[in-house]
A and B are shown apart, each in its own frame.
Chain A
């Protein structure tokens, strides 16, 4: 079963607003990954984090690997319509990824 708590479950925002979502766990992970999935498609890797405290950006996206190795957040600045989709966090443990439940991003017209 899932071992990551991802929040919020969904977000309704205005175009141009900043977005923040996070994942927490009771256990530590060696790597955190953030993916975006659009309807009918497979997830696309956005950012990979390898070290505790690491802060990494990819365009308007910024993600951080929590210092305790038990959490991570993803920020999207100045959201645009094509940012809609479901964002998943995933923590790497051994050979597998443990997935969050996803954050659905909806941009109000």
Chain B
């Protein structure tokens, strides 16, 4: 199988605080992990691509200092939303991919609400 977990599934935080979201590949080694953001009734919007041990590559318009991504091991990537604001409220989804294949396997998503 190819199981990806995300934690937490839901988080509510106050404006100005930071929140960390974890993405883990449970039964395979993920050389590449992706972070997406999804607005209601919309498709997935790629935020960044991270390869294990390297700096993440951010998509145009995504602030790398605001959305900190760390991919320190082959099974774990984290996304930290720093100084969160209400407009950062969204559904954040990670995906993971094995080396040499194209399929991405997704986590269950994290619903972030910033009050």
Measured CB to CB, the residues of A under 8 A from B are 2, 30-31, 33, 35, 40-45, 48, 88, 92, 95-97, 99-102
Contacts and interface: CB of A to CB of B under 8 A. Distances in A.
B43 interface: yes
B58 to A, nearest CB: 13
Given A2-B43, A102-B43, A95 B49 contact: yes
Contacts, number: 47
A96 B49 contact: yes
B6 interface: yes
Interface in B68-115: 91, 93, 95, 102-109, 111
Contacts of B32: 95
Nearest to A95: B49
Interface of B: 4, 6, 32, 34, 42-44, 46, 49, 91, 93, 95, 102-109, 111
